[in-house]
Amino acid sequence: MINIAKPGGQSDTARFNWPQPKCLRFVLIAVATGILAQTAHAQDRTVDLLRTLSEAPAPSGFEEPVRKIMVHELSPYSDKITYDGLGSVIARQGDHGPRIMLDAHMDEVGGMVRHVTHDGFLSMQMLGGVLDQALPDQKWIIIGSKGYVHAVTGLRDGHGMSPDERGKIFPADTIFLDIGAKSEADVAAMGIEAGDPVAPDTNFAVLNGTQRYVGKAWDDRVGCAVLVEAMRRLKASGHPNQIFFAATTQEEVGLRGAHSAADVIKPDIGIAIEGGVTGDTPGRTAFNSQVKLGAGPGLFLFDTSALPGRRLVAMTRDTAKEKSVPLQLDLVSGYGDDSAEIQKSSGGVPTVNLVVPVRYTHAHYGVMDRADFDSMVDLVVALLQKLDAKTVARLRDFTPEP
């Protein structure tokens, strides 16, 4: 402790003279500038991470661009990185205690080239639940043998449409990619062939100076970013367990990477981090979703693929309350997540699915809120720090009470 004397006097325990007012102003300005610089650095780090993850093209089965990012980001904080047979990244932190699996998937909805027409147009096989109405008049990236090729999905000219067609949604099998080619030979010269992956071409942006970010693939690149930030914090603070940070593959086409990763990890507890849906836009109701953007992370009590572990749900709610983290509860039909496969592994695993709310999922442009992301990281870190051997044993004990 440093006891500083007041101006005009001298403390017996003073370690240095009181600065003159002008000097003091410089000191305070320097301290404040340093604090602001640290805050700005943390802000920039998170924004840069979210931008990099969002903009990477990686539809299901073609996750390599995101896999490279995740390995780069997780390596400094992990004790060991391995992979399952489908390409999921498994980064372990800690070497004793319960085995906790923290999951987020790397893939996004997209497509692959299905057929090349004689005049150079491309049809698509969709990967994942892409809405037909989200396909026309959009920019895309095709990952070909010679690199990225830019494409657009055309929109039929309104001057040539009948009145009935103007209000019609055109199905995916009638939509074609235009890459500027005039023939099959032109397409081949660009390094494009059937089977090449296709992803939305969308740039990340901070939405008009707010704390809301627009980009593609928040389902589930926002979860991938949570894994990175949680692992970074836990490296410094420590935890009483082995945590396996699993960035999984092929979620959008059947939760496949979570299945294979869980086979490798053999978790005692599973926590999935997802990009959730919201019910706060015009035309939506609480029946669709009870989650709102900017009101905190969400906890699923039900979705079509999984029911969470009731004790783990209670622990998550208690932890959020203890840490003053706003937590929303939701029940969503027509939704599946990786926790469904994790909970069926190794003879049964208590799981929960936690979501960062996202508007407009499975489309070229989604919107997330920075405060929801930060609160999710706070909650996940606090939850993982509480999952010691005794707690995990209690969560897994189904012995009836006398």
179 contacts 122 by C-beta, under 8 angstroms: yes
Residues β-bridged to residue 139: 152
pLDDT the model gives residue 172? 85
Question: Which residue is it, tokens 């990225």?
Answer: 148
Where in the sequence numbering do the catalytic residues fall? 251
- Structure-token pair, residue 114: 């299905």
From 33-37, 99-103, 225-229, 249-253, the region with the lowest mean pLDDT: 33-37
For range 171-192, the mean pLDDT: 95
DSSP string over 222-280: HHHHHHHHHHHHHHHH--SSEEEEEEES--TTTSHHHHHHHHHH--SEEEEEEEEP-S-
pLDDT the model gives residue 366? 97
pLDDT the model gives residue 13? 37
pLDDT the model gives residue 93? 98
Omega before 220 cis (within 30°)?
Answer: yes
pLDDT at 6 over 90: no
For range 194-218, the mean pLDDT: 97
Per-residue pLDDT band at 44 (split at 50, 70, 90) = confident
Question: How much of the chain is helix, strand and coil, in % rounded to 5?
Answer: 35, 25, 40
Helix (H) or strand (E) holding 23, with range, is helix 21-55
Residues β-bridged to residue 187: none
Per-residue pLDDT band at 169 (split at 50, 70, 90) = confident
pLDDT at 26 over 80: no
Per-residue pLDDT band at 276 (split at 50, 70, 90) = very high
Question: Which residue is it, tokens 């203890």?
Answer: 322
pLDDT at 152 over 90: yes
Query: Which whole-number Å values give the CA distances from 83 to 50, 92, 176, 220, in the listed order?
Result: 23, 11, 36, 19
How big is the chain, counted in residues? 402
- pLDDT: which is higher, 74 or 31: 74
DSSP state at residue 102: E
268 contacts 99 by C-beta, under 8 angstroms: yes
SS3 116: strand
